[in-house]
Amino acid sequence: MGFAELGILPVLGNALAQDGITEPTPIQVEAIPVLLEGKDATVSSETGTGKTLAYLLPLFCRIDPAVRSLQMIVIVPTHELAMQIHREATQLAQRSGLGVRTQALIGGVSVKRQIQKLKEKPHLVVGSAGRIGELIGMGKLKAHTAQTIVIDEADRMLFGDSLAAVRRIVKATLRERQLVFVSATEQPESTRVAESLAPDLVRVHTGCNRVVPTIEHCYLICEERDKPTALASLIHAVQPERAIVFVHRNEDAETIAAKLAYRGIATADLHSSRDKMARKRALDDFRAGRTPILIASDVAARGLDVEAVTHIINVDTPSQSKAYLHRTGRTARAGASGCAISLLTDQEKRLVKRYETDLNISMIRVELRGGELLRTPVRPGNVLQKNAPRGEERN
């Protein structure tokens, strides 16, 4: 089935074809017809399955470019995700020639400039709940004309202060508007909140909480204090083309980056305590391949979408299987292969059994020896190939 059969405009299909996208993913097949009908819905599917296009395409089909008013609102938890979706929407508008105007609305930048640009009457805005709500409160963003509100990363947005901001935005729109909740997981708490906002939700769900079969999962045992050194040796041994290194805390990202720099390894560190421009530079350098290693905390990496990530390295390994699944889902996208390597202490080895049981995967123990990464037990031919995302053995 192609995009045209789903009801997507031919010009949008042609725009996607310029990026080699000719067939919809399973979540797009399920979600697009529902959203085109204007139904309230929850859309859940694992990371990297095309959820953004699953809602952007029907939004574009329903926007009337001749009407100079706001028609669609997309709310996201981070500035990086807002800019990522804004870029995708802008490119879709340009390549399709539909004349859809988009604007990003995020905090940390001049609100006066955003107000000035709002005079161009964007059809679609994407941004943080705080800034969108602020502009609605100022009377500068007329939300009553919005036909659809999308809450992306809903499993994160429907709690605490974010939920309060989302409620205010929803309240500013007409009762007939469409609500769409998008997430990588299905959480009972966020689902209950979504149902309170839109009682007649249609549930669209494919492959949520399933591990990508083309990822090889490995673990390396070391002392906690030795993890930075082990990480440096691991990077030298594997020489990843593009790797994301995960830590729990922001300060750990800075420490790891400094220790790797001391060992001659260039990195970009992405965490929520850095200012917006620093995070943008880090992402741009990583996307462009200028820096092959990105160090990130879970919060900062939420919703991060970067193509061709070959390795995921967990310096701090999550205790929950779902969190491990989400991290590793950032490699091996679109049918590619990938490798996930976790640095574990003896006390953390229990996580291996948990992941294997919960996710139905097999984890390979590896060790560093003589500057090479070896499978354990060590046997001839057990060296993991450098730059081989799936860890193919050398011949």
Give per-residue pLDDT as tens, 190-199. Answer: 999 999 999 8
Q: Taking a C-beta distance cutoff of 8 angstroms, is the pair 276, 108 a contact?
A: yes
Which CATH entry fits the domain spanning 215-375: 3.40.50.1000, 3.20.20.70, 3.40.50.300, 3.30.420.40? Answer: 3.40.50.300
| pLDDT on residue 279 | 80
Nearest 5°: the CA angle 39, 198, 5 is: 15
- Annotated domain spans of the chain: 4-206, 215-375
| pLDDT on residue 8 | 96
| pLDDT on residue 390 | 37
* CA–CA separation, 366 and 97 (whole Å): 51
Hey, do 4-206 and 215-375 end up sharing a CATH topology, with the first three levels equal? yes
Question: Of 378, 369, 364, 238, nearest to 311 (Cα)?
Answer: 238
Structure tokens belonging to residue 250: 């922001």
* CA–CA separation, 142 and 134 (whole Å): 12
* C-alpha of 228 from chain center: 26
| pLDDT on residue 302 | 65
| Class at the top of the CATH hierarchy for domain 4-206 | alpha beta
The helix (run of H) or strand (run of E) holding residue 296 is strand 293-297
Q: Which residues contact 237 (CB under 8 A, 6 or more apart)?
A: 368, 371, 372, 373, 384, 386
| pLDDT on residue 69 | 97
* CA–CA separation, 57 and 72 (whole Å): 12
Within the chain, which residues score under 70 in pLDDT?
1, 207-210, 271-274, 299, 302-303, 377-395
Q: How many CB atoms neighbour CB 158 within 10 A? A: 23
Q: What own/partner pairs with CB < 8 Å and gap ≥ 24 does 275-279 have?
A: 275/108, 276/79, 276/106, 276/108, 276/109, 279/79, 279/80
| pLDDT on residue 392 | 40
Q: Which residues contact 341 (CB under 8 A, 6 or more apart)?
A: 218, 219, 220, 234, 238, 311, 312, 313, 314, 366
Crossing angle for the helix pair 188-197 and 160-171, to the nearest 10 degrees: 20
* CA–CA separation, 289 and 238 (whole Å): 17
pTM across the whole model: 0.65
The 3-state DSSP class for residue 42 equals strand
